[in-house]
């Protein structure tokens, strides 16, 4: 990293920002939260729609986000239906 980029700061790529957000959410979930806290999945779904809509024209209903828990395993399932290429 050059001193100039350190001082001015570098603009992060959208994918890396989304990855960091997902890691924070998953770490928060694994640390344990009370049942009274609101579910983060609707907010995650809205964020995904906003990011993907920058690049592809999609219907917000075409993105489904689900968290499945089985024993000690948690799976974040994200299904995105993209329109057919013309």
Backbone angles phi, psi at 8, to 5 degrees: -85, -20
pLDDT tens, position by position, 52-75: 888 888 888 888 888 777 777 878
Whole-angstrom distance between the N-terminal and C-terminal Cα of the chain?
41
pLDDT tens, position by position, 15-58: 788 888 888 887 777 666 544 344 777 888 888 888 888 888 88
Residue 11 scores a pLDDT above 80 = no
The helix or strand, by DSSP H or E, that contains position 26, with its residue range, turns out to be helix 14-30
Residue 69: both structure tokens together: 């828990």
Whole-number pLDDT of residue 32:
63
Residue 81 scores a pLDDT above 80 = yes
């Amino acid at each position: 990293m050059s001193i100039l980029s350190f001082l001015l700061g570098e603009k992060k790529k959208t994918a890396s920002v989304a990855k960091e957000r997902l890691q924070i959410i998953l770490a928060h979930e694994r640390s344990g939260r009370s049942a009274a806290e609101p579910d983060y999945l609707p907010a995650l779904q809205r964020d995904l729609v906003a990011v993907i809509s920058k690049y592809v024209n999609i219907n917000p209903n075409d993105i489904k986000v689900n968290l499945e828990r089985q024993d000690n395993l948690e799976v974040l399932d994200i299904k995105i239906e993209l329109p057919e290429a013309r």
